[in-house]
Amino acid sequence: MKRHITRLLIFLGLVLSATACEKSEWNNVPEPISRFLNEYFPLQNISQYTITETGYHVKLHNSVALTFDSDYSWTSINGYGNTLPEMFLFDQLPPALYAYLQELSLTGQVYSVTRNKIDYTVALLDYSVTYSIETGDITPDKQTESTTIAQLGMMQGEIYGENSFFN
């Protein structure tokens, strides 16, 4: 009986420490990023949080990777094979770009979004769409599957490693 209780206590200790590790990552994330994550990716655990020279990188467990600049604004969100939430697209994309995606019934097919001071790029399954901030032009860009995979951030070093078949 003592052996079972000891095993149970060890098991509970491991579970609690694993939960504490996940919670401690949340404690390290700056509050504006934490709010963003809770709004668009609720109830997901952080598997990795990194401070970079230009901002922050957050990877959610079995989910998306997000990059934020030093002002806590997102610059890249990669679903790693999962589509991005429609509420995120509605709230965060320029209205004309969202309307374009909605008109073509593509809002449920967005796998990655990046933005900078010049444009937004939305990666779909087999092509991307670029929105120019200056002109408002929307340009679909038909591409090969391997190029789209690169655009989704799934090239060497991020997922496949240095010895991938892409080399």
Domain assignments of the chain as residue spans, ordered by start: 2-151
Rounded Cα distance, 74 and 12, in Å: 37
Residue 50 bridge partners (DSSP): 57
Q: For residues 138 and 116, is the Cβ–Cβ distance under 8 A?
A: no
Residues 166 and 129: their CA atoms lie apart, in Å, by 24
Q: What is the pLDDT of residue 1?
A: 58
Q: Which amino acid is at 136?
A: G
Q: Work out the burial of residue 160: count CB atoms within 10 Å of its CB; fewer than 13 is exposed, 13-18 middle, 19 or more buried.
A: middle
Give the integer Cα–Cα distance in Å for 167 and 94.
36
pLDDT in tens, the chain (167 residues): 555 454 444 444 434 444 444 456 778 899 999 999 999 999 899 999 999 999 999 999 988 999 999 999 999 999 999 999 999 999 999 999 999 999 999 999 999 999 999 999 999 988 999 999 999 999 998 764 444 444 444 433 344 333 333 33
β-pair type (65-69, 74-78): antiparallel
Handedness of CA 83, 86, 87, 89 (dihedral sign): positive
Classified as helix, coil or strand, 121 is: strand
Residue 163 is predicted with a pLDDT of 37
Place of tokens 């001071």: 117
| CA pair distance 89, 161, nearest whole angstrom | 30
Q: Which residue has the tokens 């690169």?
A: 150
State pTM to two decimals: 0.71
pLDDT score at 23: 52
Domain 2-151 -> CATH class: alpha beta
**Residue 8, pLDDT score:** 44
